[in-house]
C-alpha cells in the first residue's frame, strides 16, 4: 500500500502570523522541502494561485502539489453560494491534479483571534445540523464531479472541532464527504487520534501529521490561551518530537487501505524551530513509522 509524504509550508512561513517567517522567500521553502526528502507540498499564502504559473515552479523543485486550505461559510450561506465562492480555488485544485481539498468551516471561527480562547468557538445549532450536513454533502458532490475529494478538517476554534461534531457530521453525510484526520488538532481538542482513526478509518481521505508538546498543551488549556497564542507558546511540533503516538494510528490507516498523503504540518516559530532541521526531523520520524506500519513510500 503506497503513500506519499508531504509537508505544509507553515513550517517556514505562517500565513496567520506573518511575523513568523513572513520574510522567507517561497523559493527557500520549496528548495528546503525537497532537500528534506518530501515528495510534495500543500499550498501557502506565497504560492501563485494560477495553474499555469504554479506548475512550472513546483516542477523545477521536483514537487507535487498536495492540496490547499479552503475556509467555507456554510453556516451562513447555502451550497450554491458556497460553490460559487469556491470556484477559483477548486479550479486550482483540479487543475493541479490534487486528490483532495482541505475544507474547514470558517463561519465565526476564532482560530485567528488572539483575544479569544481556542475553545470559545462557534457551534452548529442543534436544529440546524441536518441542513448543515446537506450543504456539506452538496458541495462535496460538486467537488467530486471535478475529481477532487472534500477532506473535512476538524480544526480548533471552528464549529467542527470536537469528537461529537465529527461523529455528527459523518453520520449525516455520505461517502462523498471525506475526513481529514489531524493528529494535532484532535489531541488539542481532547480526542484520542487512535480512537478517531478507528471509528472513521473508512472516511479518512487525508492526514495531517502534527505532534503536540503535552506540557505546553496543558498550560495553554489551563490558561484559556488563544489558538495562535498556543502556537507562539510552541504547542505544536513535527512527528517524533511530541506526545502523539503515530505508529498505532498509521497501522489503523494501513489496515483500512489508506493510499493518500501523509502531510507533516507543524506551525512553529521558525526563529526557535529551524525549518529545515525540523522538516528533516519530521520526515525521518514519519517515514520510519509509516514503513513500520506496512506502508510503501512512493517518491
Q: What is the dihedral angle through the alpha carbons of 166, 170, 171, 175, rounded to the nearest 10 degrees? A: -170
pLDDT at site 299 = 78
Each residue of 104-143: pLDDT tens digit?
A: 999 999 999 999 999 999 999 999 999 999 999 999 999 9
Measured between alpha carbons, how far is residue 290 from residues 2, 7, 174, 218, 265 in Å? 10, 15, 28, 28, 16
Nearest-angstrom CA–CA distance, 133 and 98:
24
User: For cell 488539542, what's the residue?
Assistant: 188
Does the pLDDT value for residue 253 go beyond 80?
yes
Nearest-angstrom CA–CA distance, 290 and 287:
5
Reported as a pLDDT band with limits 50, 70 and 90, residue 66 is: very high
Is 279:238 a contact under the CB 8 Å cutoff?
yes
- Structural domain of 245: 2-297
Domain count, the chain: 1
Each residue of 187-230: pLDDT tens digit?
A: 999 999 999 999 999 999 999 999 999 999 999 999 999 999 99
Residues, the chain, total?
Answer: 299
CATH number at residue 284: 3.20.20.150
Q: What are phi and psi of 85, to 5 degrees?
A: -70, -35
Mean pLDDT, the chain, rounded, equals: 97
Each residue of 143-166: pLDDT tens digit?
A: 999 999 999 999 999 999 999 999
Nearest-angstrom CA–CA distance, 228 and 223:
13
Q: What is the dihedral angle through the alpha carbons of 235, 238, 241, 243, rounded to the nearest 10 degrees? A: 60
Neighbours of 53 (CB within 10 A): 10
CA atoms within 13 A on the CB side of 119: 12
Is 65:40 a contact under the CB 8 Å cutoff?
yes
Does the pLDDT value for residue 1 go beyond 80?
no
Nearest-angstrom CA–CA distance, 118 and 221:
9
Measured between alpha carbons, how far is residue 188 from residues 143, 156, 220 in Å? 29, 7, 10
Nearest to 150 by CA among 91, 101, 89: 101
Q: What are phi and psi of 176, to 5 degrees?
A: -60, -25
Amino acid at each position: 500500500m503506497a503513500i506519499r509524504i508531504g509537508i505544509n509550508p507553515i513550517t517556514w512561513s505562517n500565513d496567520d502570523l506573518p511575523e513568523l517567517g513572513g520574510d522567507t522567500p517561497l523559493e527557500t521553502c520549496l528548495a528546503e522541502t525537497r532537500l528534506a526528502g518530501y515528495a510534495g507540498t500543500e499550498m501557502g499564502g506565497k504560492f501563485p494561485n494560477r495553474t499555469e504559473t504554479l506548475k512550472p515552479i513546483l516542477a523545477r523543485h521536483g514537487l507535487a502539489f498536495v492540496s490547499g486550505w479552503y475556509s467555507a461559510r456554510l453556516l451562513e450561506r447555502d451550497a450554491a453560494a458556497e460553490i460559487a465562492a469556491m470556484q477559483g480555488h477548486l479550479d486550482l485544485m483540479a487543475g493541479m491534479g490534487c486528490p483532495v481539498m482541505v475544507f474547514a468551516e470558517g463561519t465565526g471561527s476564532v482560530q485567528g483571534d488572539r483575544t479569544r480562547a481556542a475553545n470559545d468557538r462557534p457551534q452548529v445549532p442543534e436544529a440546524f445540523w441536518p441542513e448543515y450536513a446537506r450543504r456539506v454533502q452538496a458541495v462535496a458532490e460538486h467537488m467530486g464531479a471535478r475529481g477532487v475529494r472534500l477532506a473535512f478538517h476538524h480544526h480548533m476554534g471552528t464549529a467542527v472541532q470536537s469528537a461529537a461534531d465529527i461523529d455528527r457530521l459523518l453520520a449525516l453525510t455520505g461517502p462523498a464527504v471525506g475526513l481529514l484526520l489531524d493528529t494535532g488538532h484532535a489531541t488539542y481538542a481532547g480526542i484520542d487520534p487512535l480512537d478517531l482513526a478507528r471509528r472513521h478509518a473508512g472516511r479518512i481521505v487525508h492526514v495531517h501529521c502534527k505532534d503536540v508538546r503535552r506540557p505546553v498543551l496543558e498550560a495553554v488549556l489551563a490558561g484559556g490561551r488563544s489558538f495562535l497564542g498556543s502556537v507562539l507558546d510552541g504547542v505544536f511540533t513535527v512527528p517524533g518530537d511530541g506526545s502523539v503516538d503515530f505508529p498505532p494510528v498509521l497501522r489503523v490507516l494501513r489496515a483500512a487501505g489508506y493510499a493518500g498523503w501523509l502531510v507533516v504540518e507543524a506551525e512553529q516559530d521558525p526563529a526557535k524551530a529551524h525549518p529545515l532541521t525540523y522538516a528533516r526531523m519530521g520526515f525521518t520520524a514519519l517515514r520510519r513509522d509509516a514503513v513500520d506500519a506496512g506502508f510503501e513510500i512512493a517518491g
